[in-house]
């Protein structure tokens, strides 16, 4: 279970920074592994309304957004934290949100489905100096539509009035309890799921498709990830095309090594879909080996055939798990 934190304030060790740290700690204590992006320290250009994304599904601006699209796609949980700047989020975070028009376009204009859409949840943390009733209205609306573009269900928020000087957030009474309660609610039904890791050699094709089908078909019942014994630099473009034919969006997904995947996040089961003996035996971890041909470098026809075989395997696997839990 991967939680991505987006720290939206330009102030170092400011209120939203401290609040997000506390929140991400609470998620880690409940079994998530996490990464926090300090948005103001990243190179993110504002949207230039080139509308390329609406026609072609990608943004031609060269900055760090491709990495962030990938992290949003990988995340089960997205936590956005920000101070109120003139009744909304600071411009740096707003630039990132506006650039998610690319994800909006892939979802609504190209009608592609993010495999994580049935699992992913978004949560908002907000702080502001004044006490007006409507202080967080703009931020809430912005967060709602951002999470929707990122295929995340808006799962709630914690917002604090009267927080101004650096560190004021820590003076809020009952803060730790509120954070703990919100973290419990946010992870309800997600923590404690069976963790399955699909592995192949390059994590470019077969294991990516298997994890995507598992996320799509099992939804919140499985915690599915993928990795490779010798990860390639990027996923296979023909695999992206073959999945796109079924309306499944595999763009922006990255590859990872088996070592990275299991570090601090040991799966309950590893399913090898093409690394055979190169995939390590992990002590205490159940294992299955699915024999599947390597479609890399072959024709589109073979890619499609392997894709469909993987989907059948994954569906049968999920059906067997349901049968066991009855
Ligand atoms: C440019 C700017 C605009 C702000 N606008 C508002 C505002 O509209 N309403 C409000 O209550 N506080 C406003 N604030 C105050 C911040 O929301 C507040 O100090 C917050 O605690 C800062 O959080 P941080 O430490 O995470 O940056 C503004 C602060 C700045 C610097």
pLDDT in tens, 186-213: 999 998 899 999 999 999 999 999 999 9
Q: Which atom of ligand 1 approaches the CA of 14 most closely? A: 25
* Termini Cα distance of the chain: 24
Residue 326 pLDDT: 45
Q: Are 214 and 240 in contact (CB under 8 A)?
A: no
Residue 278 pLDDT: 76
Express as a percent the part of the chain with pLDDT over 90: 92
Average pLDDT over residues 99-118: 97
The string of pLDDT tens digits covering residues 226-276 is: 999 999 999 999 999 999 999 999 999 999 999 999 987 899 999 999 877
Is the pLDDT at 325 greater than 70? The verdict is: no
**pLDDT confidence of 277, banded at 50, 70, 90?**
confident
The rounded Cα 110 to chain-centroid distance in angstroms is: 20
CB atoms inside a 10 Å sphere around CB 189 = 12
Residue 324 pLDDT: 56
Testing ligand 1's pocket by substitution, the residue of 80, 84, 127 carrying the most ligand atoms inside 8 A of its CB is 84
Residue 168 pLDDT: 97
Task: Provide the 3-class DSSP secondary structure of residue 127.
Answer: strand
Nearest protein CA to atom 2 of ligand 1, as residue: 85
Is the pLDDT at 173 greater than 50? The verdict is: yes
* CA gap 232, 216 in Å, rounded: 24
Q: Is 20 in the pocket of ligand 1 (CB under 6 A)?
A: no
Separation in Å, CA 67 to CA 53, 75, 103, 252: 16, 12, 13, 8
* CA gap 251, 244 in Å, rounded: 9
Q: Is 9 in the pocket of ligand 1 (CB under 6 A)?
A: yes
Is the pLDDT at 82 greater than 80? The verdict is: yes
Testing ligand 1's pocket by substitution, the residue of 86, 129, 139, 170 carrying the most ligand atoms inside 8 A of its CB is 129
The string of pLDDT tens digits covering residues 279-319 is: 878 889 999 999 999 999 999 999 999 999 999 999 999 99
Rg (CA), the chain: 20
**Tokens matching residue 217:** 């078909």
pTM for this structure?
0.95
Q: Is 137 in the pocket of ligand 1 (CB under 6 A)?
A: no
Q: Which atom of ligand 1 approaches the CA of 84 most closely? A: 17
Q: Are 209 and 296 in contact (CB under 8 A)?
A: no
Average pLDDT over residues 142-154: 98
Distance in Å, CA 128 to ligand 1 centroid: 5
């Amino acid at each position: 279970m991967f939680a991505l934190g987006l720290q939206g304030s330009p102030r170092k060790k400011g209120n939203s920074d401290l609040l997000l740290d506390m929140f991400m700690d609470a998620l880690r204590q409940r079994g998530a592994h996490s990464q926090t992006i300090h948005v103001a320290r990243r190179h993110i250009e504002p949207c230039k309304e080139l509308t390329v994304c609406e026609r072609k599904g990608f943004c031609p601006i060269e900055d760090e957004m491709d990495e962030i699209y990938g992290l949003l796609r990988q995340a089960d949980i997205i936590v956005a934290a920000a101070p109120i700047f003139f009744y909304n989020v600071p411009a740096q975070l707003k630039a990132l949100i506006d650039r998610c028009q690319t994800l909006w376009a892939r979802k609504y204009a190209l009608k592609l489905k993010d495999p994580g859409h049935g699992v992913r949840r978004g949560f908002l943390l907000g702080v502001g100096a004044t006490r007006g009733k409507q202080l967080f209205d703009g931020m809430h609306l912005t967060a709602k539509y951002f999470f929707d573009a990122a295929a995340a269900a808006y799962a709630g928020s914690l917002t604090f009035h009267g927080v101004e000087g650096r560190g004021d957030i820590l003076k809020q009474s009952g803060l730790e309890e509120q954070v703990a309660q919100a973290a419990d609610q946010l992870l309800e039904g997600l923590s404690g799921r069976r963790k399955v890791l699909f592995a192949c050699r390059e994590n470019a094709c077969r294991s990516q498709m298997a994890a995507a089908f598992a996320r799509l078909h099992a939804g919140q019942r499985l915690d599915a990830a993928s990795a490779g014994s010798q990860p390639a630099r990027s996923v296979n473009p023909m695999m992206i095309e073959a999945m796109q034919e079924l309306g499944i969006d595999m763009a922006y997904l990255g590859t990872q090594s088996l070592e990275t995947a299991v570090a601090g996040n040991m799966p309950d089961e590893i399913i090898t879909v093409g690394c055979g003996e190169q995939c390590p035996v992990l002590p205490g971890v159940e294992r299955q080996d699915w024999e599947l041909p390597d479609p890399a470098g072959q024709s589109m026809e073979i890619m499609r055939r392997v894709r469909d075989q993987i989907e059948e395997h994954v569906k049968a696997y999920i059906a067997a798990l349901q049968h066991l839990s009855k």
